Structure 1
Amino acid sequence: MIATVATVVAGSIAAAVVLMGVSYVWAPGGAAGFGIPDVPVEDRAFRSWSRVKGNRDIGTGLLLLVVLVGGPPQLLGAAMIVAAVMPACDAVTVARAGGPPAAAYGVHAATAAVMVAVGLVLLGA
């Protein structure tokens, strides 16, 4: 039962990551919500980096969805734990840029923690 809940949470995270990635590629000005303060959303270089982040998110989310559909729960668990490195690094990036703690810890670090917890449950499935 708990593995089923963990699988649903993993799928939801993967789908959300794809959708966030699409939003960063489609409308990079909205990426200011990432948590880095004083982002010049009209700046061409920023918009390019926003698209890079979006592409990374799309690829990561799709990879997790492929593993969810085609692999055993243990493989999905391992993939979730490894993929948690990205939001953990995002938390550090936002914190070091002087971004709001709510974004650094409440969004990015919390996402990483949930991904690791879900991964550990699936590893034990």
Structure 2
Amino acid sequence: MLSTIATVLAGLIGAGVILMGANAFRAPQAAAGFGIPNTPTEDPSFRAWLAVKAMRDIAAGILILIVLVGGTTHLLGWIMLASSVIPVGDAVIVLRSKGPKATAYGVHAATAAVMLVISVLLLIA
């Protein structure tokens, strides 16, 4: 039962990351919610970097879904554990950019914590 719940949560994380990436690719001003202050979404060079980030988000989400469908519960746990580094890095980036601590901790660090819990549940299942 725990592995089923953790697998569904991993799938939701994967789908969510794909949707976030697609939204940022489609509407770069959505990047303002990331937490970096004074995000210059009208600057063509910065928009290019946002597109790079968006495509990497989409690819990361697809990777999670591929492992969910074709891999084992244990492998999905390891992938989720490795992927949890991404929101930890995002939190550090927001904090180093003097962004809102609420976003760094409430969005990025909380996402990392959820992913770590999912990882543990998948690895012990």
Query: TM-score normalized by structure 2?
Result: 0.97
State the distance in 1 between where 2:58 and 2:69 align. Answer: 17
One-letter amino acid matched to 1:44: P
Q: Deviations over 1:72-98 (max 9, x none)?
A: 100000000000111110000001101
Which residue in 2 is equivalent to 1:112? 112
Counterpart in 1 of 2:21? Answer: 21
Partner of 2:121 in structure 1? Answer: 121
- Amino acid in structure 1 at the alignment position of 2:21: G
1:46 equivalent in alignment to 2:15: no
Q: Is 1:36 equivalent to 2:36 in the alignment?
A: yes
Please name the residue that 2:99 is paired with: 99
1:49-64 matches, cutoff 5 A: 49-64=49-64
| Shift, 1:30, TM fit | 1.5
Structure 2 spans left out of the alignment, 5+ residues: none
Identity %: 56
Query: For residue 109 of structure 1, what is the amino acid of its counterpart?
Result: A
Query: Could you state the TM-score of these two structures normalised by the residue count of structure 1?
Result: 0.97
Give the root-mean-square deviation of aligned CA atoms: 0.7
Which residue of structure 1 lines up, in the alignment, with residue 72 of structure 2? Answer: 72
In the aligned structure 2, how far is the partner of 1:62 from the partner of 1:29?
23
Moved over 4 A (4+): none
